[in-house]
Amino acid sequence: MSTNSEHATATDTDTGTDTNTSTVTGTDTDAKTATCTNTSTDTNTTPDEPTTHSLATELESLRNRLETLESTLEQKTARIEHLEQELDRTRAENERLESRVTELEETRAPNEAIEARLDAHEKKLAANKARVSELQARELEKGAHLLESHVDPSTIDVTDGRLERITKDDGAQYVRLPESDDPLERGGDVAVAHGDLLPVQQLARMDDEMRRATTSALPVRLAAHLWKARTDPSVGDNPWKQGCKNVREYVTASDMKHWIRRQESGISDTYAKKLVSRTIDALLDLSRNRLAIRRTSQRKNGLEYTERRVLLPADAAIPGERL
């Protein structure tokens, strides 16, 4: 009986020991739980190094991007302000122009009336000028010498379209048809003395007999006669042609050759060619180089050749200058 009681007591004691052991075990479990909890907490509060670097890089990129956007925004804001100022100036200018247009429109009616009167006066003046030019042309054909300041050569329609500017004893300049004498003898005689004329002009004013008595050189006589043919319509046979731009008149070597053969009958074509060269030289010398020589390319029968031309420049200073 007592033995059983001791056994039971021992058993209880063992069981109690086991209970204590279980308690200890529970304590170990709590410790493990605490350890796990601490481990978890340490993981959340202390991230690894790669993650931190990535976040820092991304943050820096965002900051740079933000700065760029802010700079762009500032530029656009400044641009908008500038455009607004330009727009204000443009509007102000438009308002000024509109005001000016309105002002001009208000004055248009009076201006139209003035323009109509001016047009009428202009037509009347043009008609009067045409009448005066016609009267001057008729008077010039009758031999009148008209003051140059009263004549517009571009509006005068006379035979051959030739006018001559002369200076008389009174010192005034007149316009006349070539070699015409004023029947009224206004202003005195023509002031250009014989000695003031070019040698070719002096010879050209001589008749054939005086010319032969003055010089025996045929090229010189031909040069004088050729000059006279240019200035005196009564000669009839005139090989000179009207020029253009900077050339008043010109004659070609071929036309000169045919003209020489008509003036000097019986000469051969070969000799006429030689006379052309000599006559050109005489023209240059007697005109004191007022004339010029130019070579031009011509084409005839499909062949190209070079021909000489004797030119009278438009600005050549010839006594009794022609307009």
H/E stretch holding 213: helix 208-214
- Specify the pLDDT at position 30: 45
- Specify the pLDDT at position 46: 54
Domain membership of residue 282 (yes or no) is: yes
Full-model pTM? 0.46
- Specify the pLDDT at position 321: 57
Domain membership of residue 119 (yes or no) is: no
Pick from 278, 269, 268: which is nearest to 218 by CA? 278
Q: What do you get for the CA distance between the two ends of the chain, in Å?
A: 177
- Specify the pLDDT at position 162: 78
d(CA 220, CA 281): 9
- Specify the pLDDT at position 249: 93
* Helices and strands in the chain, H and E counts: 7, 7
- Specify the pLDDT at position 217: 93
What range defines the domain where residue 304 resides?
193-313
Domain membership of residue 10 (yes or no) is: yes
Q: How many structural domains are present in the chain?
A: 2
Ranges of residues in the chain whose predicted pLDDT is under 50? 1-45
Residue spans of beta strands (DSSP E) within 81-200: 146-147, 164-167, 173-176
SS3 291: coil
Domain membership of residue 305 (yes or no) is: yes
H/E stretch holding 259: helix 253-263
